[in-house]
Amino acid sequence: MVEKAVRGTFLDFVDDPWKHVGNEEESVRFHADGLLVIDDGIITDFGPYAEVSPRHPDVETTVIADRIILPGFIDGHIHLPQTRVLGAYGEQLLPWLQKWVFPEEHKYADRAYAEEGTTHFFDNLLASGTTTAQTFTTGNLTCNEVFFEEAARRNMRMIGGLTGIDRHVPDYFANTPEQFYDDSKTLIEKFHGVGRALYAITPRFGFGASNELLAACQKLKQEHPDLWINTHISENPAEIHGVLALHDDCHDYLGVYEKYDLVGPKFTGGHGVWLSNDEFRRFSDTGAAVAFCPSSNLYLGSGLFRLGKATDPEHRVLLSFGTDMGGGNRFSLLNSLEDAYKVGMLNNTILDGSIVPSEMDLAESERNKLSPFRAFYSLTRGGAESLYIDEFVGTFDIGKEADFVALDYTAGPPATAWHQSLLYDGGELTLETAADLLFGIMMVSDERAVDETWVMGELAYKKA
């Protein structure tokens, strides 16, 4: 392979901004004029253009001007077969699943339908700047094969797995624990670790899993300790009551997954809206992660995730951000950032003590504020660390896979360029101005700001 390079303005993270309250810029690496050198999809050199370019005098260079280039976005929680039910009207989680989701997902047992839906799914990811996603599929083998085949065709680092459910589900859509185990085994052997694919044992949620299905997950994890585990937890109050009624030996939702030895590194529980302080502590102690899905939590009316609690240094929980599309009504993680910011602001109405003075907690309130650094860290390095894929992606460190997104801060609703020119009207960008522009992108724009998405050093999407 021939070495190539990209020149432009680069921003990534060297640390967790929540660890640098008041000095978040210490967590950032910024090169207003930088050079990223890539060989065979892997980053081989990176830094200021003036420093790096003399080391590569003949390298073929693509210049990406007037953009901010970040590591590709990581969606920690999304549902492939819900691409077509995006924006379904009128229900909270449990009736929404029955009315909209199970009938649609069932169609993915048909290969032609699955291929059509999967093509739309990946096209939408790339148009949103998302280069990696931890993905729910269905409990059907064909749907999962199509997912892994398409991910391989696009050379994307994806995590996914057969999504099992055998309770509170129509018969036509139910797995049996034996079929779940056997088909998961087939997929693990065929796809896990092949190319960029990673396999997640995926019990859909506690409310939809018999003890036998959870025991099958436990057995798979014992047989393949390097696998990921992806599920939902504590999303909706009706769901939680149902789970605790099924497991009267567990005193909270996390306890159900603990009972089957599923909780630890590489475990992600999506949502976690109603987690107790004790559950947060157990997530933190075991190295398990939560996927924060703000757009979904608002859209399905699930509730307000306690971001400032999850990021408490006393028990910092690993976090990815997820769209949860189609529970979330957008494919773009930029919209998730917008919603996450608003969730933080709403939580702070309680924490500033203005409703009940005894509930004032200014430190937690500060952690609820989704600064642009916290936001884009969460989509990149933070997401990668929470999913235990930071050896591959999430930063521009040498040795990482060259997945990145070029954001156009002038693109969005009609007046975006004029609006952003309040902050910046030319010249070399400073970190401070870049942060302001990034905040403008997440609060005012959407996937229109995604100008280019690169996968393994190749242009995979260019906005029309």
Question: Interface residues with ligand GUN (CB under 6 A)?
Answer: 79, 93, 97, 101, 204-205, 232, 235, 296, 324, 327
**Least gap, CB of 297 to ligand GUN (angstroms):** 9
Judged by CB, which is closer to Zn ion: 94, or 152? Answer: 94
Judged by CB, which is closer to ligand GUN: 168, or 463? Answer: 168
Residue 445 interaction partner, one of Zn ion, ligand GUN, none, beta carbon < 5-8 Å per kind = none
Judged by CB, which is closer to Zn ion: 255, or 270? Answer: 270
Write the CA distances from 12 to 31, 86, 156, 194, 386, integer angstroms. 9, 31, 20, 28, 16
**Least gap, CB of 147 to ligand GUN (angstroms):** 15
**Least gap, CB of 97 to ligand GUN (angstroms):** 6
Residue type, 264: G
Write the CA distances from 328 to 27, 218, 302, 368, 381, integer angstroms. 29, 29, 11, 20, 22
Where along the sequence are the contacts to Zn ion (CB under 5 A)? 270, 324
Residue 16 interaction partner, one of Zn ion, ligand GUN, none, beta carbon < 5-8 Å per kind = none
Judged by CB, which is closer to ligand GUN: 13, or 100? Answer: 100
Q: Which residue has the tokens 């504020």?
A: 369
Which residue is closest to ligand GUN by CB? 327
Residue 235 interaction partner, one of Zn ion, ligand GUN, none, beta carbon < 5-8 Å per kind = ligand GUN
In the sheet that 42-48 helps form, which strands lie side by side, from edge to edge? 42-48, 28-39, 4-13, 60-71, 404-407, 450-455, 458-462
**Least gap, CB of 102 to ligand GUN (angstroms):** 9
Residue 93 interaction partner, one of ligand GUN, Zn ion, none, beta carbon < 5-8 Å per kind = ligand GUN
Judged by CB, which is closer to ligand GUN: 204, or 330? Answer: 204
Judged by CB, which is closer to ligand GUN: 101, or 387? Answer: 101
Token readout for 416 is 């975006």
CB-facing half-sphere around the CA of 450: CA atoms within 13 A:
27
Residue 154 interaction partner, one of ligand GUN, Zn ion, none, beta carbon < 5-8 Å per kind = none
Q: Which of 260, 204, 209, 201 is nearest to 232 (CA)?
A: 204
**Least gap, CB of 282 to ligand GUN (angstroms):** 21
Residue 70 interaction partner, one of ligand GUN, Zn ion, none, beta carbon < 5-8 Å per kind = none
**Least gap, CB of 257 to ligand GUN (angstroms):** 14
**Least gap, CB of 395 to Zn ion (angstroms):** 27
CB 383 within 8 A of CB 347: no
**Least gap, CB of 105 to ligand GUN (angstroms):** 8
Judged by CB, which is closer to ligand GUN: 94, or 215? Answer: 94
Residue 198 interaction partner, one of Zn ion, ligand GUN, none, beta carbon < 5-8 Å per kind = none
Residue 101 interaction partner, one of Zn ion, ligand GUN, none, beta carbon < 5-8 Å per kind = ligand GUN
